[in-house]
Amino acid sequence: MNSKKAESKSNMILNFFSSVKLAITLFILLAATSIIGTVLPQGETLQFYLENFGPTYFKIIKSLQLYDTYHSWWYLSLLGLFSINLIVCTIRRLPYTLRLYQKDALDLSKDDIARRPFKRIWNIKGKADDTALHQRLRSLFEKAGGKVKFRSNVQGGELYLIEKGKWNYWGVYFIHVSILIIFVGAIFGTFTGFKGRIMLLEGETTNQVMRVDQAGNIETIPLGFSIRCNKFRVEFYPSGAPKLFQSDLSIIKDGKEVKKKSILVNDPLSYNGITFYQSTYQALPEVLVKITASNGKQELLRISAFEKTAWPGTGLMLGLIKFLPNVHGAPAARIYIGDQAGNGDALWLLKGHDKEYQAGHTTYRISLVGGGEKYMTGLQVKKDPGVWIVWLGCTMLILGFAVVFWVPHQRYWLWIGRGSSDLEIILAGQTNKNKVSFEKHFRRLEAEIENHIGDA
């Protein structure tokens, strides 16, 4: 090796080490700073931090965006630097690894072989022409497992090679590239997808999603189709712990139901790349009233909180203000009743005690039939076209680890040379992982050859 070559090589190794040092520095920095967001409450209003931590710490929290640590400029910069480190490291090492990979392990001199980390040399006097011994040594060598490669005339001898797991070299690349792929998937998903919420009463339909942006403004995103909640169900164990949250949903496009599914917490509904997850629910009071007009017209009306119910054909509007399931043994409700112009009144109804309401020339007699709860389901809505890229990266990551961990690059050499009267034998081995277990295998092979030579 000439000095120029040595210099460029050492320079390369130096650069390589310096970037591993950068990687380690980043690991430590990321580990340490990640703690902040697990200790300091995240995503609160700025007012919250000012009140709880005082003006001095508030300044730090605000300028370093510690209220949203993992999306702050400096944390994202660390992740960016980490990505650059991975890319540079990968590109720099690529030619070096490629050369290692392409290197022919038979292309070694006798002295090179004798310099391997594991080796044994025998000199057997007077056996130079024992071709049977030579043959037996060769078949013993096969016990190392794998295909035997052969080259004659290596410094007057024959060189045998068994090489396994050469592609182990690429395992680390697999891992590093897969982390970059995960980042790409996450970034792609952030810019092309959205995340929002829908609250739907049983029977209600919507065609848009609500999203709260970082400034706290609510914006709506059109879905391009409609979604209806047909029914919501909640069940509890005897202990009171929740057992089941279930929403029966329908997707409606151009007035037609195109998809129907009962979703559970771990079983969402997907349509057109948008997925609906069971997230929360709310129980809203609902009452049933019987209303009789003085002209003899009669109707049973279901009145819910947060919406007005019309009695068709009369112009009467009703609403629920409050529902109390048990007032001295009977349910009671405070309802609103009025006309479309906004004239109206609030009435307390107790079951068994009817109330009257006068509108124009008509008197209405209202009685409370019963009350209960109506459910409103809370759905998490997400569109994330990048998620498949993330899963691809994750799969590659696991495969990469499997290669690195379970496929060591191992080489065994056997050189048999004939001197004037002696047979010279060199057994050598090298591995890049798990030296302890390799050494065990190597020593076993060595012992077998030793025994054999003893017998011969």
Check residue 243 for interaction with another protein (CB under 8 A): yes
In whole angstroms, the minimum distance from the beta carbon of 266 to another protein comes to 4
80 by Cβ neighbours in 10 Å (0-12 / 13-18 / 19+) ranks as exposed
Residue from 63, 91, 237, 361 that binds another protein (CB under 8 A)? 237
Q: Which is nearer to another protein, 298 or 437 (CB)?
A: 437
Check residue 211 for interaction with another protein (CB under 8 A): no
Check residue 98 for interaction with another protein (CB under 8 A): no
Could you tell me how many residues of this chain bind another protein (CB under 8 A)?
A: 52
H-helix or E-strand spanning residue 258 = strand 256-263
109-135 burial, b for 16+ CB within 10 Å, e for fewer? ebeebeebebbbebebeebbeeeebbe
Residue from 244, 283, 447, 456 that binds another protein (CB under 8 A)? 244
Please state, in angstroms and as integers, the Cα–Cα distance from residue 111 to each residue in 108, 221, 410, following that order. Answer: 8, 72, 19
Choose among 169, 179, 175: nearest CA to 401. Answer: 175
Residue 104 to residue 176: CA distance in whole angstroms: 26
Check residue 382 for interaction with another protein (CB under 8 A): yes
Residue 154 to residue 429: CA distance in whole angstroms: 17
Check residue 34 for interaction with another protein (CB under 8 A): yes
Check residue 39 for interaction with another protein (CB under 8 A): yes
Of residues 336 through 355, those in contact with another protein by CB under 8 A are: none
Check residue 402 for interaction with another protein (CB under 8 A): yes
In whole angstroms, the minimum distance from the beta carbon of 245 to another protein comes to 5
Residue 316 to residue 337: CA distance in whole angstroms: 7
Stretch near another protein under the rule CB under 8 A, chosen from 32-40, 121-129, 218-226, 412-420:
32-40
Check residue 397 for interaction with another protein (CB under 8 A): yes
Please give the DSSP secondary-structure letter assigned to residue 362. E
Check residue 171 for interaction with another protein (CB under 8 A): no
Q: Which is nearer to another protein, 29 or 293 (CB)?
A: 29
Of residues 267 through 326, those in contact with another protein by CB under 8 A are: 267-268, 275, 277-279
In whole angstroms, the minimum distance from the beta carbon of 344 to another protein comes to 42
Residue 177 to residue 188: CA distance in whole angstroms: 16
Of residues 102 through 141, those in contact with another protein by CB under 8 A are: none
Residue 419 to residue 125: CA distance in whole angstroms: 9
Stretch near another protein under the rule CB under 8 A, chosen from 127-135, 262-270, 286-294, 319-327:
262-270
Q: Which is nearer to another protein, 288 or 392 (CB)?
A: 392
In whole angstroms, the minimum distance from the beta carbon of 71 to another protein comes to 9
The answer to whether 171 and 400 are in contact (CB under 8 A) is yes
Please give the DSSP secondary-structure letter assigned to residue 117. S
Please give the DSSP secondary-structure letter assigned to residue 147. P
Q: Which is nearer to another protein, 434 or 451 (CB)?
A: 434
The answer to whether 136 and 452 are in contact (CB under 8 A) is yes
Check residue 28 for interaction with another protein (CB under 8 A): yes
Check residue 100 for interaction with another protein (CB under 8 A): no
Residue 179 to residue 382: CA distance in whole angstroms: 23
Q: Which is nearer to another protein, 30 or 50 (CB)?
A: 30
State the helix-helix crossing angle for 171-192 and 73-102, rounded to 10 degrees. 150
Check residue 241 for interaction with another protein (CB under 8 A): yes
| Tokens linked to 53 | 């931590």
- Binding interface with another protein (CB under 8 A): 17, 20-21, 23-24, 27-28, 30-31, 34-35, 37-39, 42, 70, 186, 195, 237, 239, 241-245, 264-268, 275, 277-279, 380-382, 384, 387, 390-391, 394, 397-398, 401-402, 404-405, 434-437
